[in-house]
Structure 1
Amino acid sequence: MKKVLLSAVALLAFGFANAQEEKANEGFAKGDVFVSGAVTLGSAKTGDFKANAFEIAPKVGYFVTENVAVGASLGFQSLKWDNGAADATNSGFGLGAFGRYYFTPASKFSLFAQLGLDYTTLSDEFDETDGTLYGSKFESKEVGFGLGAGMNYFVSSNFSIEAGVAVLGYSSNDNGGDGADKTNTFSFGGDWRAVTFGVNYKF
């Protein structure tokens, strides 16, 4: 009986120690790496109209200090549609860099501020079945930066839920260049209807 009790106590102690260790590992520390991103596929069809979409956007961050993380992102997206009389392909490729300041990184819950810079190339190809616009192509480049705010909440020692909202943003699109007027866009204020959510994995 004593052996059974001792075994039960040892098992409980081991479980408690593991739980405490996992809890202690929640949060971020200097040298930690986290990854996130998106992979999506989609399609739609109505009558003669059909469309297919694809996106992949990995992101990685590294804590250079206890509070500061820097990172980079890649992105590629493609949308193809056909309505029977015409078809088009819209695609984009982007590179990004960001820096974050976490206020309580070692905690289960932490707020952060983020500054990001992005460069994107956009391409639109359009064809008509009668050949009037066969091979028509338009390309443009866009540079933008943004200031945002967000939070991380650890649900385990490795996984955290992240939510973010844009606060300040500016972008400039060359509209194809060759003397074309640029489109400059400025935005300020958090739109709480456009909060982004994601999951991070910490190494």
Structure 2
Amino acid sequence: MKKIILIALVLCAFSFANAQESKGYIGVSFGASFPSGDLTKVDNAKTGFNLGLINAGYRFTETYGMTFNWGSTAYNFSDVYGYDYTFAIGYLAIGPMFSFPLSNKIGLDLKPQIAFTTGVFDDGTDTFNTNSSTGLLLGSSINFPFAKHWGLAFNLDYLSTKFKEVDGEPMDINYKANAFNTSLGIQYKF
């Protein structure tokens, strides 16, 4: 509850500011993904890869808008019950966007989103699909313009979701897949 009140106060304090020079953007990003939740219970969990195929935001006012993200994370695990495998999470996420100025040109976007997720386990021989699920993507972007319609974004995101089935069969446990993602992206601003 304290976090919600703090976020509300920050949003109110900055709502008067001119946050960004553009109404919106669309871009792509790539970076590292750090596993957490049940992903870290595997001894050989490795840092993964994060790919943002679409990172889009549109501002209705200088401070408030909407965001849409389509992306994935993937991790390699070695020697788990004698197998090496890859686990990937794909997601579509949508939610509000709150924009704040950090300097004259640099801006911050905070983006709490609902994420529609699915997962895939691949051991090199077989592929196993999880159920579709919903989760939470807490996103943030620091936007750096470098030309009239182009900019760079540094993104920090936290993805949390839970899977209950693999190939239509119930899992022994609800598999909580959480990831902390860092990425660098390029944006087209309009």
Range class of TM-score, shorter chain? 0.5 to 0.7
Identity of matched residues, %: 16
Instruction: Output the CA distance in 1 between the equivalents of 2:160 and 2:115.
Output: 10
Match of 2:182 in 1: 195
Task: Give the aligned CA root-mean-square deviation in angstroms.
Answer: 4.0
Matched, 1:28 2:12: no
Higher relative contact order (CA 8 A, sep 6+): 2
Give ranges in structure 2 of 5+ residues lacking alignment: 1-18, 31-50, 76-84
In 1: Cα distance, 2:145 partner to 2:121 partner: 41
Instruction: Tell me if 1:61 matches 2:57.
Output: yes
Cα deviation digits, residues 18-47 of structure 1 (max 9, x gap): xxxxxxxx9435xx23110158xxxxxxxx
Higher relative strand content:
2
The DSSP-based 3-state class of the residue aligned with 1:182 is strand
- 1:185 shift after superposition: 4.8
C-alpha distance in structure 2 between counterparts of 1:28 and 1:110, whole Å: 9
Give yes or no for contact 1:75–1:95 (8 Å, CA) kept in 2. yes
Pair 1:121–1:184, CA change in 2 (3 A):
closer
Counterpart residue number, 1:144: 135
Consecutive unaligned residues in structure 1, runs of 5 or more:
1-25, 40-54, 80-87, 129-135
Check conservation: 2:108, 2:143, Cα contact below 8 A.
yes
In structure 2, the residue matched to 1:164 is: 155
Q: Secondary structure at the match of 2:169?
A: coil
TM-score normalised by L of structure 1: 0.53
Instruction: For residue 115 of structure 1, report the CA deviation from its aligned partner.
Output: 0.9
2:146 is aligned with 1:155: yes
Aligned length: 144
Partner SS, residue 184 of structure 2: strand
